[in-house]
Amino acid sequence: MGKDKSSLEDLIEKAGGCAVVDGGFATQLERHGAVINDPLWSALCLFKDPHLIKQVHLEYLEAGADILVTSSYQATLPGFLSRGLSIEEGESLLEKSVKLAVEARDSFWNSLERTPGHCYNRALVAASIGSYGAYLADGSEYSGCYGLDVNLDKLKDFHRRRLQVLVEAGPDLLAFETIPNKIEAQACVELLEEENIEVPSWICFSSVDGENAPSGESFKECLDIINKSNKVHAVGINCAPPHFIETLIHKFKELTKKAIIVYPNSGEVWDGRAKRWLPSKYFGDDKFEVFATRWRNSGARLVGGCCRTTPSTILAITKVLKESS
Ligand SMILES: C[S+](C)CC[C@H](N)C(=O)O
Ligand SMILES: N[C@@H](CCS)C(=O)O
Ligand SMILES: [Zn+2]
């Protein structure tokens, strides 16, 4: 990390030591009626319902999110090409995912000029970079089983052009999400170095056993790779059940000096074949309120929600974290 404070560190400080990430983006799109049972998942809305994308971003801002994660989780060039779009069209949709979030952030921030004494921070926009497993659309972001033909170079090739296009679109941050194994963490780190990316990034893993990456590889192995890079500013967990999080924060604190970020899902489990959430353990907003304080006190510097959480979850987190900061 350079000597100057990064935009992310600055935001964490302004937020009183723990900033709030938004909640389930696709979940909120679905609550507005979007149908995303599709290999492109929420990225479908980039060409079908872009107005809904902006509306969902605005709802998370109103709920107090300090960081908006863009709609690009499952937006990939091969994914768009397989739907008959051209490379230029695919690239312009990736760019649009950043622009929609920036527009929502700017219009929300400008509207606050008429609200003196408000408690909002100017939000940052994090460009979502879903894992290779997200693109495969077979639930493998929760297993890390990519098959024997998938090596480091293939993963770097998969991520490279999308990363370049997203960076050119001008986000404040980059959010690698639901990384399920060591090889993909390594691909992300090597790409950030090779492309000389100056935008601060976080890398988040999923976890299905509360102890390791989904592949079964230890977080020590994964974080040893990430710790070597100054390009990654925060590491953590997203889209894993909330009851795993506190233990994982303690584990990560021993494994890294980087800021720790956690934004778990509701505790429901994704069935990649049936493409639906299975009711497993479910944690509502009241539980998130309690958990969020514990996660902050355990050392997390960024806290939010992932799938099946909503703006009301983020409002509950915001209230409890901002009241006590
Ligand atoms: C974060 S998961 C629920 C996103 C959808 C998944 N990649 C699929 O397409 O099945
Ligand atoms: N940022 C993504 C996360 C999926 S795990 C979304 O909410 O759409
Ligand atoms: Zn999720």
Cβ atoms of residues 263 and 204 within 8 Å: yes
Of 6, 101, 14, nearest to 50 (Cα)?
101
- Sign of the Cα torsion 34, 146, 164, 86 reads negative
Is the pLDDT score of 317 beyond 70? yes
* DSSP strand pairing (67-69 vs 19-20): unpaired
Q: Is 33 left (phi over 0), alpha (psi -120 to 50) or beta?
A: left
Cβ pair 212, 106 in contact under 8 A: no
pLDDT in tens, 138-196: 999 999 999 999 999 999 999 999 999 999 999 999 999 999 999 999 999 999 999 99
Q: Look at residues 211, 280, 205 and name the one whose alpha carbon lies nearest to residue 244.
A: 211
Per-residue pLDDT of 14-52, as tens digits, reads 999 999 999 999 999 999 999 999 999 999 999 999 999
Give dist(CA 53, CA 47) in Å, integer: 10
Res. 296 pLDDT band, cuts 50 70 90: very high
Tell me if 204 is assigned to a ligand binding site: no
Is 239 annotated as ligand-binding?
yes
- Enumerate the β-bridge partners of residue 19: 302
Question: Which residues, judged by CB distance below 6 Å to any ligand atom, belong to the binding site of ligand 1?
Answer: 41, 74, 134, 137, 139, 141, 178, 239, 270, 272, 275, 307
Average pLDDT, the chain: 96
Chain mean position to CA 179: 10
**φ, ψ of residue 248 in degrees (nearest 5):** -70, -35
CB atoms closer than 10 angstroms to residue 150? 19
Q: What percent of the chain has pLDDT over 90?
A: 96
Q: Is the model more confident about 322 or about 238?
A: 238
- Is 214:180 a contact under the CB 8 Å cutoff? yes
The residue-averaged pLDDT of 126-139 equals: 98
ipTM confidence: 0.98
Using CA positions, which residue lies closest to atom 3 of ligand 1? Answer: 270
Question: Does the structure show a pLDDT above 50 at 134?
Answer: yes
Q: What's the pLDDT score for residue 1?
A: 43
Q: For residue 323, name the pLDDT band (cuts at 50, 70, 90).
A: confident
pLDDT value of position 4:
66
306 is in an annotated binding site: yes
The C-alpha atoms of residue 175 and residue 189 are separated, in whole angstroms, by: 12
